[in-house]
Amino acid sequence: MTGLRIDHVETSGKFILDGGEWDVDNNIWIVGDDSEVFIIDAAHDAAPIIEKVAGRRVRGIICTHAHNDHITVAPELSTKLDAPIYVHPGDQMLWDETHPGLAHEDLAEGQVFQIAGTDMQVLNTPGHSPGSCCLYLPEADELFSGDTLFQGGPGATGR
């Protein structure tokens, strides 16, 4: 592992599901080094995410799940940063509610992305949504859990 860098961005907006609407804050993680990164989740506002990327090459936008508050600006980031979007196929119906007809790459259990000399492993953790995933960097002792866990308990919605 050489030069791993983890940057954090927090954005605010609406979570909308099944007729309900809530004001939420979301964490976005920029994982990589000084030359290339992956973006984990793409919520609400692209500008602060692009600012934090700071000119580094984006290898992908990985969505931990497809609730709207984690994917709203994924297409904008993909276009502006020339990067593919990754979503687990278990969340296709949620993706289609926010971005109908927009293609993405599929995430798979056990898939490995290499960044900054380390592996980032995809762990499918259904429960919060059918396609919820965590990203685990064993060498760095880091886990990006999306909404699989909330402070104080599991991140349960089931859909």
CATH class of the region 5-154: alpha beta
**pLDDT 10s per residue in the chain (159 long)?**
569 999 999 998 888 878 888 888 899 999 999 999 999 999 999 999 999 999 999 999 999 999 888 899 999 999 999 999 999 999 999 999 999 999 999 999 999 999 999 999 999 999 889 999 999 999 999 999 988 877 766 555 655
State the Cα angle at 126 between 40 and 29, rounded to 5°: 10
pTM of the model: 0.93
CB 88 within 8 Å of CB 131: yes
Residue 150 CA to residue 155 CA, distance in Å, equals: 5
